[in-house]
Chain A
Amino acid sequence: MKKINYESEVHIDNRNFLEKFLEKIAPKKFEGIDWARWKRKNLTLGGLGRFCWAIARAVIIIGICFMILYPFLVKLIVSFMSTNDLTDKTVMFFPREGSTYFIERSIMNMDYWTALLNSTWLSLIVSVFQLIVSLLVGYGFARFNFKGKNILFIIVIATLIIPPQTIMLPLYVRFRFFIGSISLIDSFWPLAIMSATGLGLKNGLYIYLMRQFFRGMPKELEQSAYIDGAGPFRTFVSIMVPNASNMMITVFLFSFTWQWTDTTYNSMLMPKMVVLSNTLFNVTKGVEDVLQQQTLLDTGSLLMVAPLLIVFLFLQKYFVQGIERSGLVG
């Protein structure tokens, strides 16, 4: 049966320029809208305020996005310049000749591919260990009441507050003479051991995040598992961990990237390892010109950050979700 719509015909006659314009730019959004009501609602002082706020918000957001992205764009452009482009006064943003000289040079100086592989391994090992430890310990702190829990938690938070420099020297000695005279310096072992025992970089923060997350989960979930006869570990592995997947991705992303760019532990515990955060300082090797040094540094840091950006782009959806649903409040 055909539906005769008298009302819409009447309204089409009354549409003014603004309404037509709005329907034209966003036809879906303004489909079947009651224009009389829309006018009452939006063509008022409050509506004007909302409109002004929308403009101001757009300016703020675009401005800040620009500020964040601008250094990357500049680095990207500069890295494709030739040496002549750098000194050419007429070249403002876009290289005239263009070359991959700086990219090749920094790849060579940084020993990029080896360092990339090593950095990936190191960050993977560390972040997987940190993730497992923060899951276990966070759950332990969130759900069990054992003696000395509060003191232990305070100490864990204290490891976050005490500067790494304070323990750096004895830590070096600890791993330099690990058992007898066996040295673990310049290997992945020190960081692997530290992250497996919850002492890695910012590990206290991840434990805190996980604890808050598990505290926000309903207790009924576990109780029903216990009634079904599952032990604490079974419950943890098959019920709690799958529910924490977004938070896990957040923690993984934090620990992976912060390990990737870390220099505090790397410079002391593995000064000779070929990892990106060590070799980035070699990038200006054999170049005297200040301008070229600067360009090499820019190119090098861009090359170093590029894999992280790619990982972030893949995981960002889960990352933002994980934080939003983390239930950090409570």
Chain B
Amino acid sequence: MSKVTIEKMPKRQKVSLERKQNLYGYVFVLPVIIGLALIYIPVVVQSLIYSFSEIEPTSSGFKTIFCGWDNYYDALFVEEGFVRTVVESTTGILIQIPIILIFSFFMANVLNQNFFGKTFARVVFFVPVIISTGIIAEVEGMSSMIDMYSSAEKMEIGSASGSGNVFNYAALANMIIETLNNTDLANIVLGAIDGLYSIITSSGVQMLIFLSGLQSISTSMYEAARVEGATGWEVFWKISFPYVSPLILVNTVYTVIDQFLKTDNLAVAFINEKLANTSGYAIASSLSWIYTVVVLVFVGIVFLLVNRMVIYQD
């Protein structure tokens, strides 16, 4: 009799200890639970209500009058430009995703090698992660608009190398136009440079994530492959690529979210414009809900597509 109890006792205690430990999990995630329960979820529900009603500002918030799908109807069929903007920015993102991923993977591989000035190159490459977000990206956008305004003026002055052209690669652009002596070709080159710049600035975080993945592959793996006589090409496809492939999923999802939500995205700018004055509030909430659904669907599709290609280790 006594033997049985002795055997049972420790087992029961272990289970209860583990359960007790797991209860601490709630304590650790408590801040988020409070935030979601008291702020986030009520706010999301409120936003949904706004999108289905007419909004009137009062002294204690907004008065809402239920009006069914009117806002959504307005957003999709009356509010011209929104659907087109969303479609345009989505196609743009669709084209950019593979380019950003391939570029950041390639550059992570390059930065992972040993060469003179490696530290300096890494520091410089991560500057865009820090800098080209939020308002700086917006100001860059504004700069190009002002450039467009003033370009006509510049042509009148006829200065190909005036200091007014120093902004945003314009001096460089003129140099390229002059050396190539061919406007069409120069335009293609300039377009490529422009595109490359936006890709560099928007692939910093992805580069970091890929680099961390590449760093975590043990060197003995490479050594073994070299002993077996594998070429660099084979090493890349048989070791590096499979190992970082889970990160391709992370990076794809991150790229999609980042591209959809950044402030210089056209659709986001459209919604922000509506949010700027009171009369646009009702339509803005329905617009942003439509946009949310678009983003969620897009993230879902991308996740499912890429998830099938990922090679998991375990």
Give me the interface of A with B, judged by CB distance under 8 Å. 54, 57-58, 60-61, 64-65, 67-71, 74, 77-78, 81, 85-89, 91-93, 133, 136-137, 139-141, 143-146, 149, 152, 155-156, 159-171, 173-174, 176-177, 181, 193-194, 196-199, 205, 207, 232-233, 236, 253-254, 257-258, 260-264, 268, 277, 280, 290-291, 293-294, 297-298, 300-301, 304-305, 308-309, 312-313, 316, 319-320, 323-330
B85 at the interface (CB under 8 A from A): no
Question: In the complex, A267 Cα to B21 Cα: how many Å?
Answer: 43
B237 at the interface (CB under 8 A from A): no
Q: Do A197 and B285 form a contact, CB below 8 Å, given A78-B166, A290-B153?
A: no
Residues of A near B47 (CB, < 8 A) are: 166-167, 169-170
Query: Which residue of A57, A92, A264, A328 contacts B115 across the interface (Cβ within 8 Å)?
Result: A57
Residues of A near B268 (CB, < 8 A) are: 163, 165
Question: In the complex, A297 Cα to B246 Cα: how many Å?
Answer: 41
Query: Which residue of A171, A297, A316 contacts B43 across the interface (Cβ within 8 Å)?
Result: A171
Question: In the complex, A61 Cα to B113 Cα: how many Å?
Answer: 12
Are the C-beta atoms of A258 and B124 separated by less than 8 Å?
A: no
B297 → chain A closest CB, angstroms: 11
Query: What residue in chain B is nearest A146 (Cβ atoms)?
Result: B25
A210 → chain B closest CB, angstroms: 11
Residues of A near B29 (CB, < 8 A) are: 136-137, 140-141, 146, 152
Which 3 A/B pairs are nearest by Cβ-Cβ distance? A197-B35, A144-B25, A140-B28
B130 → chain A closest CB, angstroms: 5
Are the C-beta atoms of A81 and B163 separated by less than 8 Å?
A: yes
Are the C-beta atoms of B275 and A263 separated by less than 8 Å?
A: no
Residues of B near A298 (CB, < 8 A) are: 143, 167
Question: In the complex, A145 Cα to B24 Cα: how many Å?
Answer: 9
Residues of B near A308 (CB, < 8 A) are: 130-131
B162 at the interface (CB under 8 A from A): yes
Are the C-beta atoms of A69 and B130 separated by less than 8 Å?
A: no
Are the C-beta atoms of A263 and B135 separated by less than 8 Å?
A: yes
Question: In the complex, A68 Cα to B198 Cα: how many Å?
Answer: 10
Residues of B near A293 (CB, < 8 A) are: 146
Residues of A near B43 (CB, < 8 A) are: 167, 170-171, 174
B301 at the interface (CB under 8 A from A): no
Are the C-beta atoms of B162 and A152 separated by less than 8 Å?
A: no
Are the C-beta atoms of A139 and B163 separated by less than 8 Å?
A: no
Residues of A near B61 (CB, < 8 A) are: 173, 176-177
Give me the interface of B with A, judged by CB distance under 8 Å. 21-36, 38-40, 42-44, 46-47, 50, 60-62, 107, 110, 113, 115, 117, 120-131, 133-136, 138-139, 142-143, 146-147, 149-150, 153, 157, 159, 161-164, 166-169, 171-172, 193, 196-197, 200-201, 208-209, 211-213, 215-216, 243-244, 246-247, 250, 254, 257, 260-261, 263, 268, 271-272, 275, 281, 284-285, 288-289, 291-292, 295-296, 299
Question: In the complex, A83 Cα to B30 Cα: how many Å?
Answer: 57
Question: In the complex, A162 Cα to B60 Cα: how many Å?
Answer: 27
Which DSSP category, helix, strand, loop or mixed, fits chain B's interface?
Answer: helix
Known: A57-B115, A329-B213, A329-B247. 15 other contacts (CB 8 A): A67-B197, A89-B157, A144-B28, A145-B25, A156-B32, A163-B271, A167-B43, A169-B285, A174-B46, A260-B134, A261-B135, A304-B136, A309-B127, A312-B130, A319-B126
Are the C-beta atoms of B161 and A89 separated by less than 8 Å?
A: yes
Are the C-beta atoms of B247 and A197 separated by less than 8 Å?
A: no
Query: Which residue of B133, B168, B215, B289 contacts A261 across the interface (Cβ within 8 Å)?
Result: B133
Q: Do A133 and B138 form a contact, CB below 8 Å, given A169-B47, A171-B43?
A: no
A329 → chain B closest CB, angstroms: 5
Are the C-beta atoms of B164 and A291 separated by less than 8 Å?
A: yes
Question: In the complex, A92 Cα to B162 Cα: how many Å?
Answer: 6
A151 → chain B closest CB, angstroms: 11
Interface centre among A77, A294, A316 (most CB of B within 10 A): A294
Question: In the complex, A155 Cα to B296 Cα: how many Å?
Answer: 13
Question: In the complex, A166 Cα to B295 Cα: how many Å?
Answer: 12
* Interface CB pairs A-B, < 8 A, 25: A57-B110, A58-B115, A64-B107, A78-B166, A89-B159, A144-B28, A152-B32, A156-B32, A161-B296, A163-B291, A163-B292, A165-B275, A168-B275, A170-B46, A170-B50, A197-B31, A261-B134, A261-B135, A263-B134, A277-B134, A280-B139, A294-B147, A301-B139, A308-B131, A316-B126
Are the C-beta atoms of B28 and A301 separated by less than 8 Å?
A: no
Query: What residue in chain A is nearest B133 (Cβ atoms)?
Result: A261
Residues of A near B113 (CB, < 8 A) are: 57
B110 → chain A closest CB, angstroms: 6
Are the C-beta atoms of B295 and A92 separated by less than 8 Å?
A: no
Q: Do A169 and B281 form a contact, CB below 8 Å, given A141-B29, A145-B22?
A: yes
Query: Which residue of B38, B60, B212 contacts A326 across the interface (Cβ within 8 Å)?
Result: B212
Are the C-beta atoms of B285 and A290 separated by less than 8 Å?
A: no
Q: Do A165 and B246 form a contact, CB below 8 Å, given A199-B40, A324-B212?
A: no
Question: In the complex, A290 Cα to B31 Cα: how many Å?
Answer: 48
Query: Which residue of A92, A141, A168 contacts B171 across the interface (Cβ within 8 Å)?
Result: A92
Question: In the complex, A71 Cα to B38 Cα: how many Å?
Answer: 44
Residues of A near B146 (CB, < 8 A) are: 290, 293-294, 297
